[in-house]
């Protein structure tokens, strides 16, 4: 079997372009899976933020603080505002209604609005602006 390096290079470029860690391509009987372990300054910042979030979650569980979680419907990059410099969709302490946009998750250059799953007051925002998020990851907590 001859390996087409051009396809692998193109898939690798997509990993960087769309900020992905893994990509799978299938054509007829050929299946190519490309993945990477992304270690960069930006990723180190995200790791630090993740540690802070974990610490906050540990504090929450110690204090028995609970709330309604609004989660990401897709994998992508979370943004707090519709464009750089614009007013944020939500801030801690803001009262929101079911269906209000709480963030945008960008995936493959498509901006997807994330609606609130219920009425409430924003207790905590768990992701930084521009942070990669996973499917089902908690974005905010409501009271």
- Contact call for residues 18 and 110 (beta carbons, < 8 A): no
CA 109 to chain centre: 14
Give the span between the Cα atoms of 66 and 85, in whole angstroms.
31
- Contact call for residues 127 and 80 (beta carbons, < 8 A): no
How confident is the model at residue 140, as a pLDDT? 92
All structural domains of the chain: 5-35 (no CATH), 67-142 (2.40.50.100)
Give the span between the Cα atoms of 76 and 109, in whole angstroms.
9
CA 63 to chain centre: 26
Q: What is the pLDDT along the chain (143 residues), one digit of tens a residue?
A: 567 788 888 888 888 888 888 888 787 777 788 777 644 444 444 545 554 555 444 444 434 447 888 889 999 999 999 888 889 999 999 999 999 999 999 988 888 889 988 899 999 899 999 999 999 899 999 98
Q: Could you tell me which of 137, 73, 138 has the C-alpha nearest to residue 106?
A: 73
How confident is the model at residue 77, as a pLDDT? 93
How confident is the model at residue 50, as a pLDDT? 52
Give the span between the Cα atoms of 20 and 13, in whole angstroms.
10
Quote the pTM value: 0.53
How confident is the model at residue 1, as a pLDDT? 59
């Amino acid at each position: 079997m001859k390996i087409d390096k051009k396809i692998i290079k193109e898939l690798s470029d997509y990993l960087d372009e769309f900020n992905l860690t893994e990509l799978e391509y299938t054509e007829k009987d050929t299946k190519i899976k490309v993945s990477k372990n992304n270690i960069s300054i930006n990723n180190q910042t995200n790791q630090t933020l993740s540690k802070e979030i974990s610490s906050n979650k540990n504090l929450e569980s110690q204090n028995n603080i609970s709330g309604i979680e609004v989660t990401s419907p897709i994998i992508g990059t979370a943004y707090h505002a519709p464009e750089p410099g614009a007013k944020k969709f939500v801030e801690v302490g803001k009262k929101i209604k079911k269906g209000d946009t709480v963030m945008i998750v960008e995936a493959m250059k498509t901006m997807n609005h994330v609606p609130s799953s219920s009425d409430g007051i924003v207790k905590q925002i768990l992701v930084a602006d521009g942070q990669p998020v996973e499917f089902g990851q908690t974005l905010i907590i409501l009271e």
